[in-house]
A and B are shown apart, each in its own frame.
Chain A
């Protein structure tokens, strides 16, 4: 590392240029780490749903309700272990902007099906034992500063009126991708307050064995095909993935724009490095006269480029990690959002490779430089 000082001196030659180049690399890698984290989170979220549970919703569309009578018929199908039913509530908490998902669930069957919702035993019992109780995600509790036992009022939109709930349970998800910002309450409460007018929005079906999912799904759909309310049944995972696919198109766009900007910035960086190298042709010739080998000069120029890219890259990725983890709101859109170690290491790897790519032209120029020609120009 005798040549380290030479490398550092060259980097310090034009501090402003070095810093600006490193900064542009920083921006590129901030972009890379942030966008890739969005994509990995989306992918993780697409896989959060179970393959062992089916969701049956109206074939007409998810917003169309299904008849109560379907429950018993589904239960009777061979391979079905249990059935639960839910509804979308769509209430407003104080202000439209405070959006979060609210579900009316058939709590006994639902919680039995979702062991991945972790609830302290006493809270589970308290929730199940009270008609107007609510079960709230830990993230949502934090978001609004709610406490256990507190009463919150939601303004119904689909189901008009003021709805009061008492928070009796707080859940944390086993897997962060599941999200911890949902609000659950008893379907029965909704049912009774609507004078028994409401019917389920969808059914969640627990199977005896996941490998029967496809067969049972089509059997159920066939069963209701000619009824007044035909169903569309899919695994919970593909049901969830359907929501994520909407995002998927966005992610394609994000990926395309991100890639374009990333490369634009890197071309700028590479160009700057080449310009910097051109100014030093005479010095490289002098070093060769002193006996520096072509390979040594190649290494020195290459090291400079890699240092700029890696320093810029590491700062960019670091900024992404810090800003993303302190940006709480993103968890509402992308539950479990995080910059994974995979993204960090991939980013650093790309930074090294990009340093090598941006450095290769100036490094080759330096090593191939003809001393005689270059000195004549000095």
Chain B
């Protein structure tokens, strides 16, 4: 059984009783430890697909199974708890809390666990080392470059050791060099730490780093 299994997924928005189909009959299988790039033009439904995968949005029909769990069947509360354990989300615009330091931002997901203060500190230190920002722990987001902020974002996504990382254009706001660094980091997380990664990207060069590239066009997925 694949790690992520999406079957016949459909999603639509309604505006003034007019139906706008966003996803239609999407099927996708991702094996554990795979790095998948999801490409497609703007408005094709990539973000919507990621949101459904993360349990942030509900599909109209079809099923989403992640690691044997039926995501669509869980309640709001269960989803939040599940997300904190299994999903690491990386955003295009980093979405760090400006009032918290890098360390504190990364620690956020751990506040939802039963870890002690000392254990939380150890975990944060570990991921800060992985993303290469050990010396920036006490910096605020405003004091970091875009590439550095995204590395903090990635550290926050992996600190609770989720099995799957979802990235919505994680390099979309970065210059070429920084983007390259981030992609290398994601690749390392995939290869060394065996994280399953689904990354939305516009950039064909970025997509090349992945094992598999899938295309979404007008709500329909093609390999």
Are A291 and B95 in contact, with the CB atoms below 8 A?
A: no
Are B77 and A293 in contact, with the CB atoms below 8 A?
A: yes
Chain B residues near A291: list those with CB within 8 A.
80-85, 87, 109, 112
Are A290 and B97 in contact, with the CB atoms below 8 A?
A: no
Q: Which of B85, B104, B108 contacts A287 (CB 8 A)?
A: B108
B12 at the interface (CB under 8 A from A): no
Q: Give bound CA distance, A286 to B112, whole Å.
A: 14
Are A293 and B95 in contact, with the CB atoms below 8 A?
A: no
Q: Take A291-B85, A378-B93 as given contacts and tell me if A371 and B56 are in contact as well, using a CB distance cutoff of 8 Å.
A: yes
Q: Take A10-B99, A282-B95, A378-B95 as given contacts and tell me if A289 and B54 are in contact as well, using a CB distance cutoff of 8 Å.
A: yes
A285 to B: closest C-beta gap in Å: 8
- Give chain B interface residues in 73-105, CB to chain A under 8 Å: 76-77, 80-85, 87, 89, 91, 93, 95, 97-100, 104
Q: Which of A9, A12, A371 contacts B104 (CB 8 A)?
A: A9
B57 at the interface (CB under 8 A from A): yes
Count the A-B residue pairs with Cβ separation under 8 angstroms: how many?
65
Are B80 and A9 in contact, with the CB atoms below 8 A?
A: no
Are A294 and B76 in contact, with the CB atoms below 8 A?
A: yes
B51 at the interface (CB under 8 A from A): yes
Chain A residues near B54: list those with CB within 8 A.
289
Which residue in chain A gives the minimum CB-CB distance to B104? A5
Q: Give bound CA distance, A10 to B87, whole Å.
A: 26
Are A289 and B83 in contact, with the CB atoms below 8 A?
A: yes
Are B81 and A293 in contact, with the CB atoms below 8 A?
A: yes
A196 at the interface (CB under 8 A from B): no
B120 to A: closest C-beta gap in Å: 9
B176 at the interface (CB under 8 A from A): no
A188 at the interface (CB under 8 A from B): no
A372 at the interface (CB under 8 A from B): yes
Q: Give bound CA distance, A286 to B96, whole Å.
A: 8
Number of A residues near B (Cβ < 8 Å) is 25
- Give chain A interface residues in 155-201, CB to chain B under 8 Å: none
Q: Give bound CA distance, A5 to B91, whole Å.
A: 24
Chain B residues near A243: list those with CB within 8 A.
none
Are B112 and A292 in contact, with the CB atoms below 8 A?
A: yes
Chain B residues near A345: list those with CB within 8 A.
none
A13 at the interface (CB under 8 A from B): yes
Chain A residues near B93: list those with CB within 8 A.
378
Are B156 and A12 in contact, with the CB atoms below 8 A?
A: no
B111 at the interface (CB under 8 A from A): yes
A17 at the interface (CB under 8 A from B): no
Which residue in chain B gives the minimum CB-CB distance to A287? B108
Q: Give bound CA distance, A293 to B112, whole Å.
A: 9
A3 at the interface (CB under 8 A from B): yes
Q: Which of A2, A282, A283, A286 contacts B111 (CB 8 A)?
A: A2
Which residue in chain A gives the minimum CB-CB distance to B58? A372
Most buried by A among B56, B87, B99: B99
Q: Which of A5, A10, A288 contacts B80 (CB 8 A)?
A: A288
Chain B residues near A294: list those with CB within 8 A.
76-77, 80
Encode contact with B along A250-262: 1 for CB under 8 Å, 0 otherwise.
0000000000000
Chain B residues near A296: list those with CB within 8 A.
112
Chain B residues near A378: list those with CB within 8 A.
91, 93, 95
Are A290 and B89 in contact, with the CB atoms below 8 A?
A: yes
Chain B residues near A290: list those with CB within 8 A.
83-84, 89, 108-109, 112, 156
Q: Take A13-B99, A282-B95, A289-B83 as given contacts and tell me if A3 and B89 are in contact as well, using a CB distance cutoff of 8 Å.
A: no
Pick 26 A–B contacts, CB within 8 A, sort by A: A2-B111, A5-B100, A9-B104, A10-B99, A13-B98, A286-B95, A288-B56, A289-B56, A289-B83, A289-B89, A290-B83, A290-B108, A291-B80, A291-B81, A291-B82, A291-B83, A291-B84, A291-B85, A291-B112, A292-B112, A293-B81, A296-B112, A372-B51, A372-B57, A375-B91, A378-B93
**Which 8 A-B residue pairs are closest in the complex by CB-CB distance?**
A291-B84, A9-B99, A291-B83, A286-B95, A2-B111, A13-B99, A371-B56, A372-B57
Q: Which residues of B contact A (CB under 8 A)?
A: 47, 51, 54, 56-57, 76-77, 80-85, 87, 89, 91, 93, 95, 97-100, 104, 108-109, 111-112, 156
4 additional A-B residue pairs with CB within 8 Å, beyond A286-B95, A372-B51, A372-B56: A5-B104, A288-B56, A291-B83, A291-B84
